[in-house]
Amino acid sequence: MSKIAGGIFTSHVPGIGGAIAKGLQQDPYWKPFFDGFEPVHQWLAAEKPDVAVVFYNDHGLNFFLDKMPTFAIGAAAEYRHEDEGWGIAFQRPFEGHQDLSWHIIEEVVASEFDPVTCQSMLVDHAVAVPFELCWPGKEAFPLKLIPIAVNTVQHPLPSPKRCYNLGQAVGRAIESWGGDEKVVVFGTGGLSHQLEGGRAGHINVDYDKFCLRNLAPDPEALLQHDTLDIVELAGSQGVEILNWIAARGALRGSVRELASNYHIPISNTAAATVLLENSDKVHA
Ligand code: DHB
Ligand code: FE
């Protein structure tokens, strides 16, 4: 049986890619954010997961406004990053896990979700930045990728509850997979930020702290605001918290918070990194 070892939740600000390229991890502006990855590196070195299932939002690279799936699941042999305009030149490819992708797709469709299935898929900074943060260096990434894109870009967006339920269905699918892979789930994006319009620069510390406080012990508390409430609270891109909510849904055991870091600002974003460990004890 496959096992979900835990979850990594992190902002995916593209400027982080520029800071990595320039080696600015110890720079006073960047250090408080990069330091948040020390416990993540230690945990990954000890756990050595085989597969990362990444809930993220595509920002106009693989999907554009003319064709925008609510949910899309990768089933490719390999994924590549391409720069959708931020000037990030990440080169390392991402190896896929097609058999597990198809198992997840079959199980979530059986759970009455209707994802788009992607046998070829480019992944943008929302996958590549977290991977570069978690596995810095030049060697190939030491695990396989299954990307799951959630529409947080073009309204109407899915509800928090729908995202949470999708995550639960994905969690059940991973646990019912016959292989012995160890899986880590990711939720990327957030926390509060808004990049455009009259509220550009909007940050909401109270809402962010509410999410951070409840993510591990009471994730259903995050479902009390509907999607448009979250846009109001967290900003038009802060609604990327939907990816965190989906990833948290996949952790069905008793969850323990191992690390949490919150730092304002990174670019226009209230940046956060959380590491949750998932026990074997799965609630029915
Ligand atoms: C920024 C944050 C994002 O989540 C994103 O996708 C692009 C830019 C930012 O704060 O610069
Ligand atoms: Fe984003």
CA distances from 72 to 32, 216, 275 (A): 33, 26, 25
pLDDT digits (tens, 9 = 90+) for 77-100: 999 999 989 999 899 999 999 999
User: Residue 279 — pLDDT band, cuts 50, 70, 90?
Assistant: confident
What's the 32 CA to ligand 1 centre distance in angstroms?
18
| Per-residue buried b or exposed e for 95-130, using 16+ beta carbons within 10 Å of the residue's own CB | bbbeebbebbbebbeeeebebbebeebbbbbbbbbb
The terminus-to-terminus CA distance of the chain in angstroms comes to 16
> For ligand 1, is residue 15 a contact (CB within 6 Å)?
yes
Give residues whose Cβ lies within 5 Å of ion ligand 2.
189
Phi, psi of 160 (to 5 degrees): -55, -40
User: Residue 278 — pLDDT band, cuts 50, 70, 90?
Assistant: very high
What's the 185 CA to ligand 2 centre distance in angstroms?
18
pTM (two decimals): 0.98
pLDDT digits (tens, 9 = 90+) for 233-242: 999 999 999 9
> Does pLDDT of 261 surpass 50?
yes
CATH class assigned to 3-278: alpha beta
* Number of neighbours of residue 84 by Cβ within 10 angstroms: 16
Hey, where are the domains in the chain? 3-278
